A and B are shown apart, each in its own frame.
Chain A
Amino acid sequence: MSIEVRNISKNFGAFRALNDINLDIHSGELVALLGPSGCGKTSLLRIIAGLETPDTGSIQFHGEDVSGHDVRDRNVGFVFQHYALFRHMTVFDNVAFGLRMKPKKQRPSEEEIAHKVHELLNMVQLDWLADRYPEQLSGGQRQRIALARALAVQPKILLLDEPFGALDAKVRKELRRWLARLHEEINLTSVFVTHDQEEAMEVADRIVVMNKGVIEQIGSPGEVYEQPASDFVYHFLGDSNRLHLGDDGHILFRPHEISLSRLTQAEHLAAQVRDIRPLGAITRVTLKVEGQDELIEAEVVNDHASLAGLIRGETLYFKPRPSFAANGH
């Protein structure tokens, strides 16, 4: 089921949370709403779900205007950052909740519900926790239960609000890979909100980069990274260096877009080594250039010739090789 967002604006008092947002999400897509906190991404997600009402504009599901539909009638699955599991219910009852709340005529029998719940718990690989209470589970387990609960009512759309935001780094990584795989299996139109560019890059089919209530760019992870539409997108989607060229001009480049050398070379600038950090496959070298306070970070492969025997305080020669020509003034 596709989602069409049309001219959505939303103000909270004097604060403009969303400013004339237009967005098309295709059927079966996994889309990330990416941006810093306060950019309006969560408001947009809540408006799609029906938890907030926009000031202007409309939301359509597969061409049907659902703006006037109550939350209950939109049939969306929603996963909260802090899980929002029912704390007084067991895992089983949590997952069964949506089925049990159905009007009597549509409600499945208790056996059918039990069958369905165990099926979902197996899918999230947590069937053995059925009789536990939420407070006895780890964060990662809670979020998987929350997902199973949201999927129990067979939603047409799945919305996730910072689903991994409250988890620690390792669990977050595992869970987002698992979510990407799950999405491939069930192929449900899904939108998730995140402020973590790595998460968006790794999981999403398309990324919607938002800032201050407007959409800066919509594109595949490759597009937004390699062809950023603005300086904001460039900075937000990864580490960046700024090298001043005098007369207020500067060039932007990523830490890996650099040539390093121990000897002077044509077009290379001298810089002092401030720090050397081996980070697995790559090593990060922090450089101080004469005439600018901002440090330059260079990332090169571990066995790069310039690194052999390198110590802090030595002089290196570097040349930026930016792939993106956003040379500002």
Chain B
Amino acid sequence: MSSITVSAAATRNAARRGNAWARRLLILSAWLAFALFLLLPLYMVLSEALKLGFGTFFTSILEPDALSALKLTLIAVGISVPLNLVFGVSAAWCVSKFEFRGKSLLVTLIDLPFSVSPVIAGLIYVLLFGAQGYFGKWLSEHDIQIVFAVPGIVLATLFVTVPFVARELIPLMQEQGTQEEEAARLLGANGWQMFWHVTLPNIKWGLIYGVVLCTARAMGEFGAVSVVSGHIRGYTNTLPLHVEILYNEYNHVAAFSVASLLLALALIILLLKQWSEARLSRLKSAGDEE
């Protein structure tokens, strides 16, 4: 009996020793990959940007074309993210709380922008709204410009970012079921009260996460926007497009300086996410301790 226990313990220890090595190896390789593929490029971007000193760095960033690219990027993000927020919540609500015909088709369609190449997404808008496109004539008659202008860029950004919020919320809401909503209705809450007091607080984590991902994607989108933008400097260039133009002009320092601006935006978003998560969990644990 005791020998069995001893040998079992020995096997367990051996397994743990083996595990410890495997664990260290895995952690090390994860760090190496992280350093190689994420930290090194980050370092490269910053060091290239600052190669000629802070003076050149700020000149490149504060140059009017760069500022207008920044403005356009923020406009595209500012319009597409709130719209996606509304769309994502409504789509996830529909899919998870109701049974209806064509539900799986809707879920598949939400995923479409993930599987379609962004370039094709851009081309679709050119074919639809471009001068030679289906609505091109009508649009030019009414003096509305979509392609090679701000609306096209917003549309293209919207298209590629559609799945983010909905995809994040659907599994979460499906898992949570409908009982809390039913309880709210039984207690006399109207639709809006039910959504605001019960559904929204339950999905806020997923929602914040989805919005963060959506914002990051909207800022960084290149392919679709590139097709519809027309690359008019100072007018229809977003930050990623501006970086490409500068790079193609062998203006590496300026390109990397603007790239680091994009990077800074990304870091701000990450910090926002971290801050909101920490705040939420602190609120919760404060409530727990009372």
A15-23, A78-86, A164-172, A292-300: which lies at the interface: A78-86
Contact of B186 with A76 in the complex, beta carbons under 8 Å: yes
User: Is chain B's interface secondary structure helix, strand, loop, or mixed overall?
Assistant: helix
Number of A-B contacts (CB under 8 A): 66
Q: Which of B185, B201, B284, B290 contacts A71 (CB 8 A)?
A: B185
* B139 in contact (CB, < 8 A): no
A88-B201, A97-B197, A131-B290 as given contacts; A149 in contact with B187, CB under 8 Å: yes
* A51 in contact (CB, < 8 A): yes
Contact of A51 with B182 in the complex, beta carbons under 8 Å: yes
Q: How far is the CA of A238 from the CA of B183 in the complex (A)?
A: 34
B 67-113 contacts with A by CB, 8 A: none
* A153 in contact (CB, < 8 A): yes
A 99-120 contacts with B by CB, 8 A: 101-102
A72-B190, A88-B201, A149-B187 as given contacts; A131 in contact with B287, CB under 8 Å: yes
A 6-52 contacts with B by CB, 8 A: 49, 51
Q: Which residues of A contact B187 (CB under 8 A)?
A: 97-98, 101, 149-150, 152-153
Contact of B202 with A136 in the complex, beta carbons under 8 Å: no
Q: How far is the CA of A89 from the CA of B180 in the complex (A)?
A: 12
Q: Which residues of A contact B197 (CB under 8 A)?
A: 86, 97, 101
A 51-101 contacts with B by CB, 8 A: 51, 71-72, 76-78, 80, 82, 84-90, 97-98, 101
Q: How far is the CA of A71 from the CA of B190 in the complex (A)?
A: 10
Contact of B188 with A87 in the complex, beta carbons under 8 Å: no
Q: Which residue of A lies closest to B193 (CB)?
A: A101
Q: Which residue of A lies closest to B288 (CB)?
A: A133
Contact of A86 with B288 in the complex, beta carbons under 8 Å: no
Q: How far is the CA of A132 from the CA of B190 in the complex (A)?
A: 26
Interface size counted on chain A using CB atoms at 8 A: 28
Contact of B198 with A86 in the complex, beta carbons under 8 Å: yes
Contact of B183 with A78 in the complex, beta carbons under 8 Å: yes
Least distance between B217 CB and chain A CB atoms (Å) = 28
* B184 in contact (CB, < 8 A): yes
* B179 in contact (CB, < 8 A): yes
A 288-326 contacts with B by CB, 8 A: none
Contact pattern, A 125-151, Cβ under 8 Å of B = 1, otherwise 0: 000000111001000000000000110
Q: How far is the CA of A199 from the CA of B226 in the complex (A)?
A: 68
Contact of B189 with A80 in the complex, beta carbons under 8 Å: no
Q: How far is the CA of A218 from the CA of B186 in the complex (A)?
A: 28
Contact of B288 with A72 in the complex, beta carbons under 8 Å: no
Please give me the 4 A-B residue pairs with the lowest Cβ-Cβ distance, nearest first.
Answer: A98-B187, A84-B179, A84-B183, A88-B201
Which residues on B are within 8 Å of A, measured CB to CB?
179-180, 182-190, 193, 197-198, 201-202, 284, 287-288, 290
